[in-house]
Amino acid sequence: MSVATVLLLVFGGALAIEGIAWALAPDAMRRAYDQAMSMLDGRSLANMGLLSAALGLLLIWIGIRLHS
């Protein structure tokens, strides 16, 4: 299985799970997001974004290394 196929499956699965949660309980999801975001300041959100981006790039690199 190619790296592109794996990435498509991973991102597609994540979008499907997220979409199902929003479709089944939109009000609960909105409350959960609002509550989570209100507990964090801008700096914490930025740090989490950087960590998420770094982790994503690391996973992509690992996938490419394992595939080759």
- Show the tokens assigned to 63: 């996938």
Give Cα separations from 38 to 13, 35, 50 (angstroms): 28, 5, 19
pLDDT for position 1: 78
* Site of tokens 């507990």: 39
Taking the model in full, what pTM does it have? 0.60
Per-residue pLDDT of the chain (68 residues; tens, 9 = 90+): 777 788 888 889 999 999 999 999 999 999 999 998 999 999 998 999 999 999 888 877 887 787 77
